[in-house]
Amino acid sequence: MIDVLVVDDDVLVARINAAYVAKVPGFRVAATAHSTAEALTVLDGQPVDLILLDHYLPDENGLAAVRELRARGHQCDVMMVTAARDVATVQAAMRHGALQYLVKPFNFAGLRAKLEAYAPLRETLANGGEAEQAEVDRIFGLLAAGAVAPDLPKGHSPTTAELVRQVLLAADGPLSAQEIAERAGVSRQTAQRYLKLLERTDRVRLSLRYGETGRPEHRYTWAPSPHTG
């Protein structure tokens, strides 16, 4: 069983998230906490495998919480579960070692997809040993599983697809391919390639905006599937 610590400042939300976790086979809730201090107290008293961590906590934010738990030697995995949509926070979470980032609001299917992607990753890493390039690619591919299309065509990176998704999720409205490229830190050509792929799989919605020249500008928004959250 994978033991999970659910951390959210809202008691009701923490209870709902814990109930979601308990419904996924192979996972169980070890404890819930509503602040960084409570979470660290739990971790100091018992080991857990995974933390579902909110960013907006009453004492320190989620990123500070991750820094503190690492400083104390806790090596448990972290999945950010938060309403924080700005790309800077998403990027900082990645740099701090968060394996997944789930944006609120979400449904049970959305969280289940993340947990089901995490389970084989944990099993793979637990086996230890050395990894050839194909195995390394598979491990990193598992990090993005459940977020975008699970079976990307050859030549497409799950990491880049996930980055484009996070940019669209963080946006206040439709974005152009150029705006997405700038925010994701990729070329416009790369952004357009992934946007076309995601549009074909109904994960991105395309709209047209007409300017003074009369030539429409393509604008994109994220269109989550009801089955994946």
Distance CA 188, CA 180 (A): 8
pLDDT over 70 at 20, yes or no: yes
pTM: 0.60
Distance CA 153, CA 43 (A): 41
pLDDT over 60 at 228, yes or no: no
Residue 52 in 3-state DSSP?
Answer: strand
Which one has a higher pLDDT value, 6 or 109?
A: 6
Alpha carbon 125 to its chain centroid, in Å, reads: 19
Q: Which of 150, 98, 123, 113 shows the shortest CA–CA distance to 20? A: 113
Which one has a higher pLDDT value, 48 or 224?
A: 48
The mean per-residue pLDDT over the stretch 128-156 comes to: 58
Site of tokens 């416009």:
188
pLDDT over 60 at 35, yes or no: yes
pLDDT over 60 at 143, yes or no: no
Residue type at 167 in one-letter notation: V
pLDDT over 50 at 226, yes or no: no
Could you tell me the pLDDT band of residue 114, with boundaries at 50, 70 and 90?
confident
pLDDT over 50 at 194, yes or no: yes
Cis peptide before 105 (omega within 30 of 0): yes
